[in-house]
Structures are given as C-alpha cells and as structure tokens.
Amino acid sequence: MNRIDKLFREKKGTILSVYFTAGYPRLDSTAGIIEALADAGADMIEIGMPFSDPVADGPVIQYSSEMALRNGMNLKLLFDQLSEIRDDVKIPLLLMGYLNPVMQFGVENFCRECTRTGIDGVILPDLPPIVYKEEYFSIFNVYDLYNILLISPQSSVERITAIDKISRGFVYMVSSSSVTGSKGNFSDDQISYFKRVSEMKLRNPVLIGFGISNHETFIDAGKFARGGIIGSAFVNILEQDGNDFENINQFIKEIRG
Amino acid sequence: MGRPSPLYFASRLSDFYNTRIYLKREDLNHTGAHKINNTVGQILIAKRLDKSRIIAETGAGQHGVATATVCALMGMKCIVYMGQTDIKRQSPNVLRMKMLGAEVVPVTSGNKTLKDATNEAIRDWISNPIDTHYIIGSVVGPHPYPDLVARLQSVISEEMKFQVKEVSGKDDPDYIIACVGGGSNAIGSFYHYLDNEQVKLIAVEAGGKGIESGETAATMATGRPGVIHGSKTMLMQTDDGQITEPYSISAGLDYPGIGPVHSYLHKIKRVVFDNVNDDEALEAAFRLTRLEGIVPALESAHALAWLGKHQFRKNDVVIVTISGRGDKDMDTYNKYMGEIVSRRLR
C-alpha cells in the first residue's frame, strides 16, 4: 500500500505535512532535514525541487530555491541524496516543484527514480490536471506514484469534482488566492470556502496548504480537513549555520502545541 | 490610434538592397508601437469581465506604456511590473507610464528583465484573481493568451491584404519579415498569410552577442522544448531544466521562451527563423534612419538587419514590419553613434 494511503487510514489526529527546499540551506542538508523532521513527529514531508522561476511561490521559497540552485542542487543529485533515505525514514515522502525540470529529466525516468528511492507522491502546481490525465497518468500509474492536484478558492464545483476523480492520495487545498507564504490567521471567507469543500464529501482526503504558519492555523486546518501543510514558515527557521535539529524539534512542537 | 498603419514604399532602402521594400509602419501608432493593438482589445475584455484593476509586465516599456494608456482612457487602476535592468535602459518609457498614472513596480529577481517581470505579474494575478485582469503583452503565457493576443495583433496582416495590391500592384508580397521575442508583432504580420504558402515568412530573433557566445536571446537557435509561464514551447534552459537568462541589446526581445504558435510554425517549417546580432541590428537602425528618415526601435532593427542576410530578386515585394519607433532607444543609439556612422555606413 502507498504510504500516503496508509497514513490517512491509520492516523487519528491532525496530519502535519512539512515542506522544505532540497539543497537549502546547504547542498547536503537534504537527508538530515528529512530525518530530523521524521524524528520530531512530522507525518509527511514534501521535498522541494528548486526551480529558477517559481511563480507559485512567495519570497521565502523563492529565496531558498535560488540559494539551492546556487549551491548546485539538481534532480540527479537529489535522487542520489535520497538513495538510502528509506533505511531510516518510514513516513510518506513527496517531491514538490515545477514541471520543466521533471520534463527535462524525462517523466518515465523521473517516476522510476521516485520508485527506486521510495518517493510516494509528486506535487507539480504548473501541471494542469487535463495535461496530467492525458499525457502522464498512465506512466505515473505504472510506478504507483501519486500525483497530488491542487484546488483553490477560485475552483468551481465541477473542477473540484473532476480533480477529485483523477486524484490519488489526497487533494491539496490551497487556503487562499495567493502564492506561498504566511498571512496570519484565516478570514471568514477562507473558513466558508473550507466548509464548502468539506461539505462536498470528496472521495480523497484533503490537506490545507499555503498560509499555514502557526499553531492556530494548523488547528483550523484540522477542523475542516485532515490536516495542514507548512512550507515557508518552516524554511524560514532553517539557517546557514544554525542548529537545524534543535530548531526543527522546537518548531514542530510549537505547531502541534 | 491611427489605423490602418501605412504600408510605405522605402525607395532609398529599396535601391540599397536592390529590391522592393515596403515598411508596415506600426511605429506610427499612438504610443509608438504595435503593442496598443493588443491593449485596446484587452481593456474592452477587462471592462466586459467587470474588472477594476489592470496588471501588466513590460520589457522595453512599450507594452507598459500601451497598457497605461488604455487604463488612463478607461479610468482603471494600472500596475506595471518591470525589471530593474530595463527600468534603467528604457527610462523615457518609465516616465511616460508614470505620467499616465500607472504604478511601475521594479522587479529585482533573476536578471531583472522581462522574464522576471512576467513572473511577478503572474504572482500578482494568482493573489488577485477577482478584481484584476492581467494584460499580457505578447503571444506567451497560459491559454488563451497566445491565441487572444495573436487575434488582436492580426490586424497588421489584415491591413496588408488590401494595402499590398494598392502600393505594389502585386496581389501578395513575396516576403514578410518581422522581429520576434515573444512574437506578437511577428504573428500579427504573418496571421492572414499563414495559409498562403507563396508568401515567405521570416522571423528574426535577437542573436545578442552571437548564438555561440552564451549571451543571446535566440530561442529557436539555442533552446529545446520546455514549459515557461504556462506554455509548452521552445525554451532556453540548462540541461537540468532551469530557465537561463537571455541577453539582447534590445529589451523587448529579451525573453528565454517564444510564443508556442511560433514553435509550431517552426516545427512545420512554415516560418523561417533566423537571428541577427546586436551590432547588425544597430547598423540596420542607422541605415534606415539615414536613408529614410525613420528611427526604428531596436527590436524592429533586427527585422531590418535580415535584409542584408538574404539575396532578393529585383522585383520581389518585401514587407518589413517596423514594430515600433526608436525614441526610447536614444541612449543606446547615442552610445554607438560615432562608431557605427563612421565605420559601417560609408
């Protein structure tokens, strides 16, 4: 069974998924951050594949992506770094990034490497669902790799239903019309959008991401969905020379409260 | 706004190249370039969609000025994203946008040029989907923009259809030459001739310092298929799929991708894609100025430079689209004036 399905089936409380950018703050940080997050109690990890033009991202992830590329990160190196990650880490691992680097790596090659290293799913916000369905679905399926699709406050009922139909694992609910990065607590409009989607009773579980930055927003995410995804707020605490492991432990504790 | 733009017989330039050259004068449009054709159409769409806020990206500033102009006319709020590098090299257009009431937001990411300004405009649009319409300036970006902008620019070739007969006596031109960055004036110039195989269509990219130099914006010559700004198209990129920073002396051609329609026309070999370097474009700009009294935009100068790279027959009817005028480029022209006038044109 895909580890994502297993998590959603077995986990009782609110699911916490954490994003960071591979190759930031240091080129060789990747495995250490994954292990520290797993030890600290994260339920799932989204490993960012840095891209030169991250149009869905705010300043924090733009910066971490730029630095990671400057450090020399690329997909081949990332898969090398992940080669032995499954010796220790049992929670679901996903790759998140943009389509072009995956296309250049070769989609089939990419799926094969994901399987080899134990990656359970992929999030590519600039891959339209229709293109995924027509061109990539069959390849992803062969490798049992889940492609996670996103919905936003602008998504129609028809679109959400169609996305739910071709999704496996979970549906990624973007909390507001925005790029990544925190904006404080949720507004009434956001809460009513969460309720609206929750009442649709999708066949896939839902996680809320974009704008989840603290304990309060994380708890809210648990009320209207199965959990929340934290990205920029986490990337922010990673420092070039800091004590990453202590910071990570502390951060996860504060979010869970 | 001055339509139809004249199809002007350039007699002295024709003598120089020993053929019949006609200039499609988009430089005579209000605001000085073909960009207004698109913004007039899109502002009407924005009104119809009940939008109150307009955003745009700009490279050379021509699209920014054209957008700021229609926003002033319609009383709409206008925000233009422009790379810091371009703000410096196209300052007259920055001032025009400000006078028109637009807010010009400097973009400091990446190479600080057109690609980065487009990223920032897309981020704005993601964050303001309800009240905002994004007037994209070229045949790039997500569907339906490449098609939408091509249709709005197709007025250029629509007019040629009746003008060619009037001014040349021939039913159709033998050649249509246009510069291409994203490719909006080029597709506008080609649009109504795409099915007429007798008409040779030439798109001229910015070679920069040469396609071997690494400092170039010639996407067809140096790119391969990829995804940028929601389009699958030819793209300048590293082996790892990171988008590379283009270079051209002309801010309006400084884009690492190209409209997807051009990638298709390249693939089916309907349009010939070639490139000319900075110095060839500069020389062509001075030649047109001295022979015809027309100062072209640096972008359009790339199309003009191709005239020197091909042997035409004496009776060929050759149309070159002058996509914009050169006022905005005076700083650059001034810098090279002594060198080019003394060494090249004599």
Domain count, chain A: 1
> Is A36 in contact with A246 (CB distance < 8 Å)?
no
> Is B165 in contact with B13 (CB distance < 8 Å)?
no
The residue type at B316? D
Q: Write down the pLDDT at residue A241.
A: 63
CATH number, position A52: 3.20.20.70
- The chain A residue lying nearest B245, using CA atoms, is A52
Tokens of B3: 């339509």
Q: Write down the pLDDT at residue A242.
A: 63
Q: Is the pLDDT of residue A240 over 80?
A: no
pLDDT per position as a tens digit, B51-106? 999 999 999 899 999 999 999 999 999 999 999 999 988 888 999 999 999 999 99
Cα–Cα distance, A171 to A145 (Å, whole number): 15
Q: Is the dihedral of CA A83, A88, A94, A95 positive or negative?
A: negative
pLDDT per position as a tens digit, A46-104? 999 999 999 999 999 999 999 999 999 999 999 999 999 999 999 999 999 999 999 99
Q: What percent of chain A has pLDDT over 70?
A: 98
Contact residues on chain B for A69, CB-CB shorter than 8 A: 242
Tokens of B40: 């007039």
Pairwise CB contact (< 8 Å): B123 & A53: no
Instruction: Produce one character per residue of B237-257: b if its CB has 16 or more CB atoms within 10 Å, e if not.
Output: beebbbbbbbbbbbbbbbbbb
- Tell me which residue of B208, B41, B185 sits closest to B113, measured CA to CA: B208
Is position B35 annotated as part of the catalytic site? yes
Pairwise CB contact (< 8 Å): B237 & A104: yes
Q: Write down the pLDDT at residue B251.
A: 86
- At residue A29, the 3 state secondary structure works out as coil
3-state secondary structure chain B: CCCCCCEEECHHHHHHHCCEEEEEEHHHCHHHECHHHHHHHHHHHHHHCCCCEEEEEECCCHHHHHHHHHHHHHCCEEEEEEEHHHHHHCHHHHHHHHHCCCEEEEECCCCCCHHHHHHHHHHHHHHCCCCEEECCCCCCCCCCHHHHHHHHHCHHHHHHHHHHHHHHCCCCCCEEEEECCCCHHHHHHHHHHCCCCCCEEEEEEEEECCCCCCCCCCHHHHCEEEEECCEEEEECECCCCCECCCCCCCHHHCCCCCCHHHHHHHHCCCEEEEEEEHHHHHHHHHHHHHHHCCCECHHHHHHHHHHHHCCCCCCCEEEEEECEECHHHHHHHHHHHHHHHHHCCC
- The chain A residue lying nearest B244, using CA atoms, is A52
Catalytic residue among A5, A28, A46, A88: A46
Contact residues on chain A for B227, CB-CB shorter than 8 A: 98-100, 103, 126
Is position B154 annotated as part of the catalytic site? no
Q: Is the pLDDT of residue A169 over 90?
A: yes
- The chain A residue lying nearest B121, using CA atoms, is A55
- The chain A residue lying nearest B123, using CA atoms, is A55
> Is B237 in contact with B223 (CB distance < 8 Å)?
yes
Cα–Cα distance, A172 to A129 (Å, whole number): 13
- What would you measure as the largest C-alpha separation in chain A, in angstroms? 48
Catalytic residue among A5, A10, A57, A80: A57
Q: Write down the pLDDT at residue A192.
A: 95
Q: Which of A58, A99, A101 sits opposite B240 (nearest CB)?
A: A101
> Is B10 in contact with B16 (CB distance < 8 Å)?
no
Q: Is B120 exposed, middle or buried (0-12, 13-18, 19+ CB in 10 A)?
A: buried
Q: Is the pLDDT of residue A239 over 90?
A: no
Asked if the peptide bond before residue A25 counts as cis, ω within 30 degrees of 0, the response is yes
Contact residues on chain B for A177, CB-CB shorter than 8 A: 126-130
Pairwise CB contact (< 8 Å): B228 & A56: no
Q: Which of B119, B130, B225 sits opposite A53 (nearest CB)?
A: B119
- Tell me which residue of A65, A126, A140 sits closest to A98, measured CA to CA: A126
Residues 6+ apart with CB under 8 A from B334: none
- Tell me which residue of B191, B192, B216 sits closest to B204, measured CA to CA: B216
Q: Write down the pLDDT at residue B342.
A: 73
* DSSP H helical ranges for chain A: 3-10, 30-40, 59-71, 75-81, 99-105, 107-117, 129-131, 137-142, 157-166, 188-199, 215-224, 232-237, 244-256
Contact residues on chain A for B225, CB-CB shorter than 8 A: 103
- Tell me which residue of A18, A84, A33, A59 sits closest to A218, measured CA to CA: A18
Domain housing A65: 3-256
Q: Write down the pLDDT at residue B345.
A: 55
Q: Write down the pLDDT at residue B341.
A: 73
Q: Write down the pLDDT at residue A182.
A: 72
Query: Low-confidence residues of chain B, pLDDT below 50?
Result: 346
What is the ipTM metric for this complex? 0.94
Tokens of A217: 């927003």
Q: Write down the pLDDT at residue A185.
A: 87
Work out the pLDDT band at A13, boundaries 50, 70, 90.
very high
Q: Which residues of B touch A (CB under 8 A)?
A: 109-110, 115, 119, 122-123, 126-130, 225-230, 235, 237, 239-244
Contact residues on chain A for B240, CB-CB shorter than 8 A: 74-76, 101, 104-105
> Is A101 in contact with A118 (CB distance < 8 Å)?
no
